[in-house]
Structure 1
């Protein structure tokens, strides 16, 4: 897919104290992108959907001053951010309710300081290995062309004896990662789904075949890999399409001998998320009929609407069977 380009970029003046900040500004100027020097971002839409659309084309270049990293169990020991929000317009996204009415993208340029904080957390847990998640509040691959910061992180972790990195993405711009001495210390996880789910609900992300091709490239470069199949949805023909998905993965990864992990997540939504999604995507075809779902208490203090037990078990059993039939080296880490 084409690289994401914002309509407007706000640049925090302090970001120009860093080499990456200067490189980003020069790159954006060469692309004829409007740049506004400011410590604040202004987005003035007339409706929630317009605010959302404008925010998704707005980038704020700034610095990450976080000194103490948050826990990220069970995915990793800690999470850190090279950016926040992402160019994707996934209608069901769990970040819908956490990034405000105007989820513009922040891109952090103080990579040396970010890596220093990571090293401090690694040192604190020696001699144990410490794992870090880079995609909890963003898709770092979707914005990588602006900074090259994820490549720097992979190189850093490649040299680290006790640090390990996890990357999650829906994008296919992976060529800059293929010839890095990563030492298998970075694991790439691709968020994948059926053609129907991607085409209907995952706007401005890599398409079905593009993601599978990106996974093939990363696997061919020797990285540990995994897949998050999420959100798994039941609709007319869902069984056939998820079967196609796993068959296509097998065709592209048939010669990959290391363990391939799978994380399975059924479609869910909260009442708050449903209200916000309907404002942003008034024509959405997402199934958010609360009468056909059951309530499940979530880890963040909110009830989620998930499939009834019978349907949930059907999804788990069917997708697990497809995975195990196609991959003898598969590990299903969880279903939720």
Structure 2
């Protein structure tokens, strides 16, 4: 019997007189408290009022123990007590970084004779090549789950993209609009960041790359206006660059549109192709940054912090501007010293005049993503903090904590660079007024 099943059996035995929803709430709280405090759930249960007892008394005790800061301040909140089910078979393997060598190469018929098809076939000579009519037809109406996501690197799809070339950033409801346009130049990522939103909404059994980048350029020309855009919503912008060879083509195209800013956002150090061509100041190469402690324990298989910053140095030297996203910032004991050191290290590596912008954001997730994280990364600690349902329905740190994180980061950044633009990502509009 699994740990979670033991808790459910305990609750069912001793609180048989309560309805299933109330039993579920007790189970969820026992599970989270035991995980947070690093003790067995039976130790938590020892403090419970002895049954039979009213549900409100049980819940009050557990909530006060799980959310101590909320209960101390008396702040109203709505914690989420959805069912807890952990399937050991869904655990992500983060013991050894996999080389990206897909077993299967699925190439749409319409792009099978393109230079990109030849490039991909040559890059993976041992892959089993199958020509398919279309990606959509090949998959049919099948839905894919966590187990498929865990195996995503086994399958590579080369397709013709016909829509969503440029679309407005899907900012959360009631969030301040960032004015960003998302470019759909691929789907899927080789990294295993335990907080990654892609786990939540990618319904695909593999990595998907469009072969028709010339159609993206044509779509931009049809827009007929200057924009701020980037290819980082559904994939890492540079993780597959050595396979696609797209970055030099993007640079050469957009250098002719100097008022449009194109961002390549990454957690890699894969900048060889970028630095092989003259840079352009409207091409922004950006990195998501966190302290090395977080890189090692949360952002599995990504480039170490110093390698990301060394790559940023190389890009700045090559004529690009760079940007940094301290997002998601993760709260833990000792975060202040680590994040202040992160800011100092960042500006020691890169001159502030080469930094186009900096964004700040804190850890947030949907309830569904929380359940995915619990299954794929059962040993995680990022879920142990106190979260509440925010303005957009996502689980977030409380307002006071987010303000503290943002104010400190802004102060540390301003000490090193007074003029760099700083903005909040996926935050409610009112948060700006609190800083």
> Does TM, scored on the shorter chain, surpass 0.5?
yes
Residues 172 and 206 of structure 1 are in contact (CA less than 8 Å); yes or no, is this contact kept in structure 2?
yes
Residues 1:99 and 2:202 aligned together: yes
Q: Give the match for residue 269 of structure 2.
A: 172
Residues 262 and 333 of structure 1 are in contact (CA less than 8 Å); yes or no, is this contact kept in structure 2?
yes
Q: Give the match for residue 323 of structure 1.
A: 413
Q: Which structure 2 residues correspond to residues 1-336 of structure 1 after superposition, within 5 A?
A: 4-29=100-125, 32-38=126-132, 39=134, 49-66=146-163, 69-72=166-169, 74-100=177-203, 102=204, 104-121=206-223, 123=224, 125=225, 129-254=226-351, 256-288=352-384, 292-298=386-392, 303-334=393-424, 336=427
In terms of mean alpha carbon deviation, does 259-268 or 7-16 score higher? 7-16
In terms of mean alpha carbon deviation, does 131-140 or 224-233 score higher? 131-140
Go from structure 1 to structure 2 and tell me whether the alpha carbon gap of 1:67 and 1:136 turns closer, same or farther (over 3 Å shift).
closer
Go from structure 1 to structure 2 and tell me whether the alpha carbon gap of 1:204 and 1:183 turns closer, same or farther (over 3 Å shift).
same
Deviations 1:291-316 (A, max 9, x none): x2232122xxxx11211122112111
Q: 1: CA distance between counterparts of 2:261 and 2:358? A: 19
Q: 2: CA distance between counterparts of 1:68 and 1:176? A: 23
Q: 1: CA distance between counterparts of 2:322 and 2:409? A: 18
Larger Rg: 2
Shift in Å at residue 7 of structure 1?
A: 3.9
Could you say which structure has the higher strand fraction?
A: 1
TM-score (norm 2): 0.67
Go from structure 1 to structure 2 and tell me whether the alpha carbon gap of 1:103 and 1:170 turns closer, same or farther (over 3 Å shift).
farther
Shift in Å at residue 78 of structure 1?
A: 2.6
Go from structure 1 to structure 2 and tell me whether the alpha carbon gap of 1:189 and 1:75 turns closer, same or farther (over 3 Å shift).
farther
**For the aligned residues, what is the CA RMSD?**
2.5
Go from structure 1 to structure 2 and tell me whether the alpha carbon gap of 1:307 and 1:76 turns closer, same or farther (over 3 Å shift).
same
Go from structure 1 to structure 2 and tell me whether the alpha carbon gap of 1:157 and 1:99 turns closer, same or farther (over 3 Å shift).
same
- Please give the secondary structure, in 2, of the residue aligned with 1:83: coil
Residues 231 and 265 of structure 1 are in contact (CA less than 8 Å); yes or no, is this contact kept in structure 2?
yes
In terms of mean alpha carbon deviation, does 64-73 or 323-332 score higher? 64-73
Residues 259 and 329 of structure 1 are in contact (CA less than 8 Å); yes or no, is this contact kept in structure 2?
no
Q: Which runs of 5+ in 2 are unaligned?
A: 1-96, 172-176, 428-435
Deviations 1:42-97 (A, max 9, x none): 7xxxx955422211342211111116632127445532222112111111112222
Deviations 1:240-262 (A, max 9, x none): 211221121122114x5244421
Q: 2: CA distance between counterparts of 1:236 and 1:103? A: 37
**Number of aligned residue pairs:** 317
Q: Give the match for residue 83 of structure 2.
A: none
Q: 1: CA distance between counterparts of 2:258 and 2:407? A: 38
Go from structure 1 to structure 2 and tell me whether the alpha carbon gap of 1:246 and 1:168 turns closer, same or farther (over 3 Å shift).
same
Go from structure 1 to structure 2 and tell me whether the alpha carbon gap of 1:310 and 1:297 turns closer, same or farther (over 3 Å shift).
closer
Q: Which runs of 5+ in 1 are unaligned?
A: none
